[in-house]
Amino acid sequence: MSLNWSIRNMLIALSVVCVVFFGLVVSATSYTNAKLVDNQNYLLDTVIPLEVAMDNLRDIVFNILNQQHIIMSTGSTQDLKLAVPRNQTAEQFKKELSKIESIKNNLPQLATIFERIKGTSQAFLASDQKLRTARENALVLQESLAMQIMEMDRLVEEVLNRNVSLEIRYGVVRLAMFGHGVLAADTLESLDSLHEIQIRQSVELVKHSLAGMGGKLEEGRDALNSSLDKIAGITMGGDNGLLILQKRNLQQRDELLQNRTFAEAITKEMMVELEDLSKLSIGIREKSISKSNDIVSASQSILLPVGIAMVVFVLFSSVYATRRLIQRILHLTQILDSLGEGKITQRLTLSARHDELDMIGKGINSMAERLFGILGKVSDVTQELSQSFFEMSAAIEEQAVVSSDQAAAVTEITATMEELSISSSQIAQHSKRVLDMSTKALDETTQGAVGVEMIMGKMVEITDENRKSTQEIIQVGKKSKDIVKVMNIINNIADQTKLIAFNAALEASSAGDAGRRFGVVAVEIRRLADTVMESIREIEIHISENQEAINNLVIRSEEGAKRVEEGMDLATKTAEMLIGIVDDVRSTSEASKQISLSTQQQKTASDQVLISLKEIGHGTRQSSAAIGQISGIVKGLNQMSSNLVCELNKFELKAQEEEKQPITGEPVREHNPYGTTPSIA
């Protein structure tokens, strides 16, 4: 079994090579994984905690800035107390700094940055505390100022509500304006321009006015003196006066702005330190990634040459083993080619090794013997089949002609029924259209009748409204006559007034200088009476025009009422005609429905007949097609039998009968297509 032994040796060599290569791959992979795990642990112990602490510090800084913004925007000490406590933020700051300090031993380059961050954070927290304290003091001063101003306004209002002289009111208002001017001062320079001398002068002016009040107002004067002293005390009363409080408020505001500027500078410095820390973290991460890439590259540089060497060795081993097998297999292919060309008299000479290829050769010789017997029997059967196929083909052609005639007749009947079905469909469509038109006409005439009834109702309403309007116009005419009577009365009164005025003018002229003014009044009264009479004449003219217009309106409304009555008569006749039309259209619609139903039934029956004919035609065509397919199959089988006979004639069956070669002997040379004796060496 030399062939099995060769294949076995080749497989053993390939297995050894694969095991060695697999071992190298496993070793290199284990080494690479160990290095990568160490690098990953280094990242987990240093870079990731550092980035987490850095992000937390940045969040804390943003929270403190947000708190500072809230502190600067608060309007009272009560709102300031509700802000987030500072102690909690400071503890978070210390906690994150302790995390960075624990990483410092693993990262020597972190020590310098950590010390800078630590110092900056202390300054940052200190500036935050100063800002809080300054804002709280400023709010306390602002609340004190607001209370003093409210008290001063109350006292001023109390003084102004008293029944005092204008000088006192002027002095008190001047004191109040001075107090509000102190509160409105936004710089120390503008505050210094307000002098206490102005306040003292105003107080002296008010007290001088109070001193001039009578003895019966002694009690009120004392109360005013007390209120005045209180107002002066609020305005310039020592440490709690408006001047001192506003000056301290402006100084506190300047200090608050300085603290805010310092806090912003410290915040920028803190953000720079955090940015340096972020750059350090990114640099460490990039170095770690570069180190991992170097480890992977080194592993690949080891495995690639070894893999190439193993592949080359396997290729050379496979080529050597397969070359020996190919030489022996070529001898087998020579005999197989001869058998493929129809020379089944050829036989293979076997060697003395009795290996796998010799067993294949023995099987080829046995196959050639059996093939000879089979081909002889196939030749006889093929002749008989060819004759049977010829007879079947003739019978099938006759059946195909009959089936074609039936299909043509069914096709003509189907075409006729299709035309009939189309005509029925058109009739059904036209009848349906007539039905739709009659239904639409019925609806429209019904709507027209309803519309005419509505028009009649509206015309009745118009008649009533017209009658009411006429009555109201007549009433207006009567009222105009009453107005004329009133105007006549007014005209008579005006005439009498003129007469009285004329008499008064005569009396005034006879009275001399004493009656001159009375004469002027009499002239004006006479002129007024003339004006009234002219106006009355104009009003009478307008009333006459209105009465004439009212009479015209009455006449036109009566004519309109007559026309409305005529329209009512026409609408009544139209409604009666429309009712008759509705009855006729309804009868037409019922008849159209019956026609449409009958045509639809006829169309359904025609469609059913057409479907049946189409099914018959389809079955006839399928039968004809099946007969054609059978005819084609029979012709194909006949052709196949003829081809099979031709192919059988290519085999050397007679040569096999005349001389048979032994399986283990030498072949005859004139029947060897290769010119040499084939054997398996």
CB atoms within 10 A of CB 472: 11
Two structure tokens written together for 88 = 């909690």
Quote the pLDDT of residue 482: 78
pLDDT band of residue 43 (cuts 50, 70, 90) is low
Quote the pLDDT of residue 210: 58
CA 572 to chain centre: 63
Say yes or no: do domains 2-137+256-312 and 395-612 share a fold. Answer: no
What gap in Å lies between CA 293 and CA 300, rounded to an integer? Answer: 11
Task: Give domain limits for the chain.
Answer: 2-137+256-312, 395-612
Per residue in 238-286, pLDDT (tens digit) is 555 666 666 666 666 777 677 677 767 777 777 777 777 777 777 777 7
CB atoms within 10 A of CB 367: 13
- pLDDT of 493 over the 80 cut: yes
Between the alpha carbon of residue 72 and those of residues 184, 495, 509, 676, the distances in Å are 20, 86, 88, 115
- What is the assigned CATH class of domain 2-137+256-312? mainly alpha
Quote the pLDDT of residue 215: 45
- pLDDT of 179 over the 50 cut: yes
Quote the pLDDT of residue 466: 77
Per residue in 378-418, pLDDT (tens digit) is 767 777 776 776 777 777 777 677 777 767 777 777 777 77
Quote the pLDDT of residue 671: 38
Per residue in 539-586, pLDDT (tens digit) is 878 888 877 777 787 787 777 777 777 777 777 777 777 777 777 777
Q: Which residue has the higher pLDDT, 542 or 102?
A: 542
Place of tokens 């020592």: 238
Place of tokens 């007559």: 562
- pLDDT of 657 over the 60 cut: no
- pLDDT of 668 over the 50 cut: no
pLDDT band of residue 666 (cuts 50, 70, 90) is very low
**Phi/psi of residue 109, each to 5°?**
-70, -5
| SS (HEC) of 221-233 | HHHHHHHHHHHHH
Per residue in 82-96, pLDDT (tens digit) is 665 555 666 766 777
- pLDDT of 498 over the 60 cut: yes
Per residue in 246-259, pLDDT (tens digit) is 666 666 677 767 76
- pLDDT of 144 over the 50 cut: yes
Quote the pLDDT of residue 411: 77
The CATH number of 395-612, from 3.30.420, 3.40.50, 1.10.287, 2.60.40, is 1.10.287
- pLDDT of 356 over the 70 cut: no
Q: How many helices (H) and strands (E) does the chain have?
A: 13, 0
